Amino acid sequence: MPTRVLGRTGIRVPVIAMGGGSRLLAYKVEDKALEAMEKAINLGINYLDSAAEYGDGKSEQWVGKLMPTRRKDVILVTKTNQRTYDTAMRQIERSLKYLQVDKVDLLHIHSLLDEATLAAIEAKDGALGALLKLRDQKVARAIGVTCHSDPTVLAKALERHDFDCVQMALNAAKAGMKNGPRGMIVNEALKTSFETVALPIARRKKMGILAMKIFAQDDLVGKAPIEKLIRYTLSLPVSAAVLGMPKLEFLDENARVAKSFKPLPAAEMKQLSGELAAKFKMAIDRRMANHVDS
């Protein structure tokens, strides 16, 4: 499995990671989910991306079942959706218990939604203070923030704060929107994306960049070949793409694409994104504005 360095963290990660949200929960039965994660690790997809919010802890509990035997084999990631220092600390304590570990490789603030969310986490008693402290204490090797709602808000967060990593929506339909006083501003939304607004800041600050929503929560499935959608995102300056893999055969297919990966030529990327953005960007942006993968 090809690997890339996760920005300034120095951690080597596989170019595709296994998402632990609704797509992992789609296995429904714990034994099936454990089988899928074991298969992923054995294929070299050893970046496991979970969150406290996924199934109200079920995802973390499933991942935790593997940790006594597989901890040394994986890059372990989780997230907190709490906005205050105290509530974040309590939730992260629960996460560590569910994961059966005393530290993680990467800890994110989950789902930066809007200006109000940013103001809350960066307040004196905000959740960002909790993550900074846990990084200092080595409970988290690195800290980050995730966002699929508004690249302009994410850009502000990345400029202002000392995140090691960022996870953002990066797909061929140019995901992203600009919120205004009356909601989405159509003309701005057509040219505003995570790729154009937030990605350059993350690159300049040498952050580890993780892509998500490659298929726009399946909205792009069938609109372009899966392999081409993955290749588009991996051709961007990202360390890895976090993918949902709700069937075992998806693991094999995604591993095949990753192992045979060749960057898309710039002209082909421009053509693909132009076609998909023109047809689907606005609808995807509206959906992602309030989407929560829990």
- Does residue 191 or residue 17 have the better pLDDT? 17
| Mean pLDDT calculated for residue range 205-225 | 95
Neighbour-count burial for 241-254, b at 16+ CB within 10 Å, e otherwise = bbbbbbeeebbeeb
Q: DSSP for 140-202?
A: EEEEEEEESS-HHHHHHHHHHS--SEEEEE--TT-----EETTEE-HHHHHH--HHHHTHHHH
Q: What is the DSSP letter of 214?
A: T
For the stretch 43-60, pLDDT in tens is 999 999 999 999 999 999
**Overall average pLDDT of the 232-236 stretch:** 98
Measured distance CA(194)–CA(196) in Å, rounded? 6
d(CA 22, CA 34): 15
Residues written for the chain: 294
Does residue 149 or residue 104 have the better pLDDT?
104
Distance (Å, whole) CA 96 – CA 173:
36
Euclidean distance between CA atoms 189 and 254, whole angstroms: 30
pLDDT value, residue 187: 45
Element (H, E) at 92: helix 85-99
The predicted structure's pLDDT at residue 192: 82
Tell me the pLDDT band of 282, cut-offs 50, 70 and 90. Answer: confident
Is 227's pLDDT higher than 50?
Answer: yes
Measured in whole angstroms, the distance separating CA 172 from the mean position of its chain's CA atoms is: 16
pLDDT tens per residue, range 109-129: 999 999 999 999 999 999 999
* pTM (whole model) above 0.85: yes
Pairing of strands 3-5, 12-14: antiparallel
pLDDT for the residue 10: 97
Q: Is the pLDDT of residue 182 over 80?
A: no
Residue 286 pLDDT level (bands cut at 50, 70, 90): confident
SS3 content of the chain, % helix, strand, coil (to 5): 50, 20, 30
Would you state the pLDDT for residue 177? 58
Q: Determine the average pLDDT of the residues in 278-292.
A: 81
Pick the closest to residue 110 from 125, 130, 138 (CA basis): 130
Give mean pLDDT, residues 68-90: 98
Residue 76 has a CB neighbour count (10 Å cut-off) of: 25
Run of H or E including 46 = none
pLDDT band at 181 (very low <50, low <70, confident <90, very high): very low
Average pLDDT, rounded, for the chain? 93
State residue 186's pLDDT score. Answer: 47
Q: Identity (one letter) of the amino acid at 200?
A: P
Residue 8 has pLDDT above 90, yes or no: yes
Which pLDDT tens digit goes with each residue over 141-167?
Answer: 999 999 999 999 999 999 999 999 999
Token pair 């942006």 in the structure block, residue: 285
Confidence category of residue 180, pLDDT binned at 50, 70, 90: very low
pLDDT band at 32 (very low <50, low <70, confident <90, very high): very high
The whole-angstrom separation of Cα 199 and Cα 194 is: 6
